[in-house]
Amino acid sequence: MKNLKYLLIMIIAVLGLNSCSYIWNQFTDAIYDLVHEGEERKKIDKDDEFAYINPNYKKEIRNVLYEINKREITKKAVAFENAMYPETGRSFEILIPIGTELKGFHLIDEQTGYGLPIRILLMTATNDKECYAEEAIKTGDKWKIAISVHYDAPMVAEDIARKIGRKNGFEICK
């Protein structure tokens, strides 16, 4: 009986020390996360479509967006969206603001090189012709062209996206 008592005490002690180790590891992981918070966002390049998330570029991109909002939308660009449907080889011509260019499927300011939180996408058309996350859509028989803005972008980006949509004859989403 005495040996069983010591055996139980040993098992409980091992379990207790093991849980202390777990708690210590959780504590050190939490401290590491606090120290390195935001490093992933700081790795985003300035010409990336998510550059607005990077705190180093946020203010400059906002100023660039206000500047672009004043520009005319008369520059012709050819947009390719082969990342989702490479077999189509589909391309289309679209009018974008002067001083911007398309890189992949998002806009970049030519003067500063900042990536803007505005995307132009080509998707398969569904029977559902309603807008969800898009600012403007144009639906054909097989394809839907959408202009969308990232979820945390300023309102001026939405205004620019809607202006691009209006200029190109897209349906403007509310």
**Which residue is it, tokens 């980006």?**
157
Say if residue 103 is in the same domain as residue 19. no
Say if residue 65 is in the same domain as residue 137. yes
What pLDDT does residue 42 have? 65
Q: Is 146 helix (H, G, I), strand (E, B) or coil?
A: strand
Q: Is 99 helix (H, G, I), strand (E, B) or coil?
A: coil
Q: In the chain, what is the straight-line distance between the N-terminal and C-terminal CA atoms, in Å?
A: 78
Say if residue 98 is in the same domain as residue 168. yes
pLDDT tens string 47-82: 888 888 888 888 999 999 999 999 998 888 776 655
What pLDDT does residue 167 have? 87
With respect to residue 144, please indicate whether it lies within any of the assigned structural domains.
yes
Say if residue 157 is in the same domain as residue 128. yes
Say if residue 22 is in the same domain as residue 86. no
Structural domain count, the chain? 2
Q: Counting every residue, how long is the chain?
A: 174
What pLDDT does residue 67 have? 93
With respect to residue 42, please indicate whether it lies within any of the assigned structural domains.
no
With respect to residue 43, please indicate whether it lies within any of the assigned structural domains.
no
With respect to residue 72, please indicate whether it lies within any of the assigned structural domains.
yes
CA distance 80 to 111: 22
With respect to residue 119, please indicate whether it lies within any of the assigned structural domains.
yes
Say if residue 59 is in the same domain as residue 21. no
Q: How far is CA 51 from CA 79, 108, 146, 152, in A?
A: 20, 10, 21, 11
Range of the domain at 75: 51-172
With respect to residue 134, please indicate whether it lies within any of the assigned structural domains.
yes
Mark the ranges of the chain whose per-residue pLDDT is less than 70: 36-42, 79-91, 125-134, 140-141, 174
Say if residue 110 is in the same domain as residue 55. yes
Q: Is 79 helix (H, G, I), strand (E, B) or coil?
A: strand
With respect to residue 45, please indicate whether it lies within any of the assigned structural domains.
no
User: Which regions of 49-158 does DSSP assign to beta strands (E)?
Assistant: 75-80, 91-96, 100-103, 106-109, 115-124, 134-139, 143-149
What pLDDT does residue 14 have? 79
What pLDDT does residue 64 have? 92
With respect to residue 94, please indicate whether it lies within any of the assigned structural domains.
yes
